């Protein structure tokens, strides 16, 4: 909670200053706005709370009083049975490995390409730049069928690689790094160059440490996208134990419709890891999404 309290201070003065002008009207307006906003924000939290409350109530009580938001018999049995009835542990492990590998490779590969585009004059650079720019328009999600054929031909179906490889060459990430690296003072690079540092050294020792905001933006975006990917892992990861959390959870729908508590418990468990990360890094995540989205 400490982390989340910090960002508010930066905007304090801004909000206060903006409510100048006709003071009375401004105050009334702000009060109305605050009420509306708070109401909607609370409504937005309802599905989370409803899933949480349901997961902690016994099934027969839910059937009898479906709309009651409290329980006479709070318990975590549903979590125990959810954990036992589906391989949630495996799904966590798979999701975690796939997302982490994707993030690491994306950050390295895309920042290297961006570094070359900013600081290295090589023949064909204009063409490469144009190619990557055109890549921004490629709707990759629409191409799952030919992509599936390709990975079958490569005998990579069902592996982590099938999940990681197609996600790494991310044009947006190159442009985020490109914009950031361009802002690094050239004098730094020239000084390193005069000291006889190799390009690799300049990239890894001078440029990358300065790129931390871009790195975190790209890492966050890639991690969320990879963690929540659905269609591609649905096609590629066919064994229950190799699945990721989103695909595994989707198998529960329409299954046992009466076991509300257990289904909601699985949901809560599925939501938890990324939500926990989000609560810890709220500010950075919002900033990262804004950075990558706007590019």
Partner 1 sequence: MTTSALAAPATGAGTELRAAGGRAPKGENRAGWLFATPFLVLYVLFLIGPVLIGIVISLFNTTTVTSGLGSWVGFSNYADVLSSGDFWASMWHSVLFTLLTTPLLVLLPLLFAVLASRMIRHQWFFRLAFFAPYVVPSSAVCLIFAFMYTPQTGLVTNVFGWLGLTAPNFLGSTSGAWFAVVLLTLWWTFGFNFILYTAAIQDISEEVYEAASIDGAGPWQQIRSITVPLLRPTMSLVLILQVLASLKVFDQIYILLAGGPNYSTRPVIEYIYDTGFTSYRGGYAAAATMVYFVILVAVSAGWILVRNRRAAAAARGETSR
Both tokens assigned to 112:
């290297």
Instruction: Tell me phi and psi for residue 137, to 5 degrees.
Output: -90, -10
Q: Does 100 interact with partner 1 (rule: CB under 8 A)?
A: no
Q: Does 18 interact with partner 1 (rule: CB under 8 A)?
A: yes
Please state, in angstroms and rounded to a whole number, the distance separating the CA atoms of residues 81 and 101.
31
Q: Which range in 75-83, 96-104, 211-219, 266-274 contacts partner 1 by CB under 8 A?
A: 266-274
Q: Does 123 interact with partner 1 (rule: CB under 8 A)?
A: yes
Q: Does 89 interact with partner 1 (rule: CB under 8 A)?
A: no
Q: Does 260 interact with partner 1 (rule: CB under 8 A)?
A: yes
8 versus 205: smaller Cβ distance to partner 1: 8
Q: Does 75 interact with partner 1 (rule: CB under 8 A)?
A: no
Please state, in angstroms and rounded to a whole number, the distance separating the CA atoms of residues 69 and 60.
14
Among 2, 70, 72, 145, binds partner 1 (CB under 8 A): 145
Minimum distance of partner 1 from residue 214's CB (angstroms):
15
47 versus 241: smaller Cβ distance to partner 1: 47
Q: Do residues 282 and 4 touch, judged by C-beta distance below 8 A?
A: yes
Q: Does 31 interact with partner 1 (rule: CB under 8 A)?
A: no
Q: Interface residues for partner 1 in 151-180 (CB under 8 A)?
A: 152-153, 165-166, 168-169, 171, 174, 178
Question: Going by C-beta distance under 8 Å and a sequence separation of 6 or more, which residues neighbour residue 230?
Answer: 246, 247, 250
Q: Does 144 interact with partner 1 (rule: CB under 8 A)?
A: yes
Among 73, 75, 141, 256, binds partner 1 (CB under 8 A): 141
Q: Does 210 interact with partner 1 (rule: CB under 8 A)?
A: no
Convert 105-120 into a string of H (helix), E (strand) and C (coil). Answer: HHHHHHHHHHHHHHHC
Both tokens assigned to 119:
């600081």
Q: Does 206 interact with partner 1 (rule: CB under 8 A)?
A: no
Return the number of other C-beta atoms located less than 10 Å from residue 107's C-beta: 22
Question: Going by C-beta distance under 8 Å and a sequence separation of 6 or more, which residues neighbour residue 158?
Answer: 236, 237, 238, 239, 242
Among 92, 104, 274, 284, binds partner 1 (CB under 8 A): 274
73 versus 293: smaller Cβ distance to partner 1: 293
Both tokens assigned to 145:
């069928």
Q: Does 54 interact with partner 1 (rule: CB under 8 A)?
A: yes
- Please give the DSSP secondary-structure letter assigned to residue 241: G
């Amino acid at each position: 909670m400490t982390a989340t309290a910090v960002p508010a201070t930066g905007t304090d003065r801004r909000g206060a200053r903006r409510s100048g002008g006709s003071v009375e009207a401004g105050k009334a307006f702000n009060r109305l706005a605050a009420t509306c906003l708070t109401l909607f924000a609370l409504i937005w939290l309802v599905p989370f709370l409803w899933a949480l409350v349901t997961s902690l109530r016994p099934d027969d009580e839910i059937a009898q009083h479906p709309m009651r938001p409290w329980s006479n018999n709070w318990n975590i049995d549903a979590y125990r049975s959810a954990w036992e009835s589906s391989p949630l542990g495996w799904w966590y492990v798979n999701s975690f490995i796939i997302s982490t590998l994707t993030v690491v490779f994306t950050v390295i590969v895309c920042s290297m390409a961006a570094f070359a585009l900013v600081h290295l004059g090589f023949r064909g650079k204009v063409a490469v730049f144009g190619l990557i720019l055109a890549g921004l328009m490629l709707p990759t999600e629409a191409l799952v069928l030919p992509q599936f054929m390709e990975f079958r031909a490569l005998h990579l179906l069902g592996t982590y690689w099938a999940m990681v490889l197609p996600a790494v060459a991310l044009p947006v990430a190159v442009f985020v790094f490109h914009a950031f690296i361009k802002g690094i003072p050239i004098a730094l690079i020239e000084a390193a160059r005069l000291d006889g540092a190799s390009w690799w050294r300049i990239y890894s020792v001078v440029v990358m440490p300065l790129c931390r905001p871009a790195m975190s933006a790209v890492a966050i975006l890639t991690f969320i996208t990879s963690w929540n990917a659905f269609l591609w892992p649905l096609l590629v990861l066919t064994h229950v134990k190799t699945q990721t959390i989103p695909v595994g959870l989707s198998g529960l729908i329409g299954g046992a419709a009466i076991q509300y508590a257990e289904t909601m418990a699985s949901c809560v468990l599925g939501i938890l890891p990324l939500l926990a990360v989000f609560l810890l890094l709220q500010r950075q995540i919002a900033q990262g999404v804004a950075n990558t989205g706007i590019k």
